Amino acid sequence: MIELRTWIATWGTAQQLAPPAEPGGGPQMPDFPDDEPPAGPPEKVSAQTVRMVARATVGGSAVRVALANSFGNAPVHIGAARIDGHRLTFGGRTSVVLPTGAQISSDPLDHHVRAQTDLVVSLYVPGENVTPTTHEVGLRTGWVAPGDQTAERDLRDATEFRSYLWLAGIDVVAEPAAAAIVVLGDSVVDGMETTPDADAPWPSVLARRLAARPDLPPRAVLNMGIAGNRVLRETDGMGAAAPARFDRDVLARPGVRWVVVSEGLNDIFFGSFPGVPESERATAEDLIAGYRLLIARAHLHRLRIVGCTLLPIGSTPFFTPETEQVRQEVNSWIRGSGEFDAVADLEAATHDPAAPACVRPELLSGDNVHPNDAGQRVIAEAFDLEIFRG
């Protein structure tokens, strides 16, 4: 008798090349004030164990782990891999080579996973000076330690960081009605400036809202935000443009039924920087054309797509009459065009009634650009959960 299993992505992250962009390689987001800069990924891994923590947004009866070398310059040998202490295999083997650009999933492992619980993934990389494919703003503490310590409960001589290395996704066998929501976005989606280890980015909060609704089928939420990401163009070190990463970050995730698009401000901001070429500038018409490409791509694969209005920018260092005009024109189209299957009005949820061009001060972090934990909660609460019922 053939056993039918419904695989669904319960967690995932978007990948980038680890080293920062070289000066002069393209427009760069300016530095923001930060009393405690995040512990970024190691630039190289050499005969070390990498241990990372990811939170499952839906539960299941079996699990598999997706590893990727999306932006590596050479094949990467993974000498051993475990999840929650259980050994993972790949085609029956305990080690695997990730070809350049490839994503490979482990063999299924019968392992009960509960929704909203942490999963611990350990990888041993036996090579020397291996450059990792990474997700930089991980916001969960991870560790790198010498040698193969994948089977050890406590790592010896470990160094902390807060990124994801080679870990692209975690899937579970869930009930047939379960489905996944992918949030494609920028640094706000990524949770920049939120409290580390608090699971505070708004996609995580949205996942908890959905999990608290027993009348809804299980709904996973995958955070595919990348700090600095743009709809129209690639930026060095900040991920491919949204249409270029759509296949990898949306379509490749099992069980996806919805994609939420929440980006566009970086397209407006980067084009306003002094000295950038005209080709970097984005008009409202340019952004709308980019959204239409994403809408068409989603509908081609029978996915529903939700558009998010752009947050107020009056408190940011990028506010000018010109950038504000573009933002307002884009938001008017998102709300009124009817081309998205649904809309979440993040501007309406976060704006300051006393200064409508600004986010409410109590919702902003110290850089006056990114929402704090409270602001992220307000964004998550702007979604009508009924959007994700059917």
- Say if CB 190 and CB 202 are below 8 A apart: no
Residues 60 and 80 in one domain: yes
Same domain? For 222 and 120 the reply is no
Specify whether 111 is located in the same domain as 228: no
78 contacts 52 by C-beta, under 8 angstroms: no
Task: Judge if 232 and 359 occupy the same domain.
Answer: yes
Structural domain of 358: 175-388
Q: In what order do the strands lie in the sheet with 304-308?
A: 219-225, 179-185, 256-262, 304-308, 342-344
What is the Cα Rg of the chain in Å? 20
Q: For residue 332, what is the domain's CATH number? A: 3.40.50.1110
Please check whether residues 17 and 63 belong to one and the same domain: yes
Report yes or no on 1 lying in a domain.
no
Residue 357 within any structural domain of the chain: yes
Instruction: Decide if 223 is inside a domain.
Output: yes
Q: How far apart are CA 58 and CA 299, in angstroms?
A: 25
* Per-residue model confidence as pLDDT tens digits over 124-145: 999 999 999 999 999 999 999 9
Q: State in Å, rounded, how far the first CA of the chain is from the last one.
A: 30
Which of 25-29, 184-188, 292-296 comes out lowest in average pLDDT?
25-29
Quick one: 129 and 278 in the same domain?
Answer: no
Rounded distance between C-alpha atoms, residue 183 and residue 190, angstroms? 10
CA pair distance 95, 350, nearest whole angstrom: 48
Is residue 371 assigned to a domain? yes
Say how many domains are in the chain. 2
Sequence letter at residue 214: P
pLDDT at 383 over 70: yes
Overall average pLDDT of the 346-357 stretch: 97
- What is the rounded distance in angstroms from the CA atom of residue 304 to the CA atom of residue 312? 26
207, two tokens: 């996942």
Q: For the whole model, what pTM was predicted?
A: 0.93
Is there a domain that residue 227 lies in?
yes
Mean pLDDT, to the nearest integer, of 40-60?
Answer: 96
Domain boundary among 170, 200, 219: 170
Helix (H) or strand (E) run with residue 160 in it: strand 159-161
Residues 339, 284 within the same domain: yes
Q: Please check whether residue 76 lies inside any domain of the structure.
A: yes
- Residues 156 and 187 grouped into a single domain: no
Final residue belonging to a domain, choices 149, 170, 191: 170
Residue 183 β-bridge partners: 223, 260
Based on the fold, state whether residues 145 and 260 are members of the same structural domain: no
Structure tokens at 368: 């006056």
Q: What CATH number does residue 31 fall under?
A: 2.60.120
Q: Are 320 and 314 in contact (CB under 8 A)?
A: no
Q: In this structure, what token pair is assigned to residue 5?
A: 């299993």
Residues 53 and 186 in one domain: no
Q: Is beta strand 60-68 parallel, antiparallel or unpaired with respect to 109-113?
A: antiparallel
- Based on the fold, state whether residues 138 and 208 are members of the same structural domain: no
DSSP at 380: H
**For 239, how many CA atoms within 13 A lie in the half-sphere containing its CB?**
31
User: Residue 4: pLDDT band by 50, 70, 90 thresholds?
Assistant: low
Of the chain, the percentage scoring pLDDT greater than 90 comes to 86
Q: Are residues 144 and 203 in the same domain?
A: no
Q: Which of 170, 197, 228 is the last residue of a domain?
A: 170
Q: What are phi and psi of 62, to 5 degrees?
A: -150, 165
pLDDT in tens, 188-237: 999 999 999 999 999 999 999 999 999 999 999 999 999 999 999 987 77
Q: Is residue 155 part of a domain?
A: yes
Q: Does the residue 2 lie in any domain?
A: no
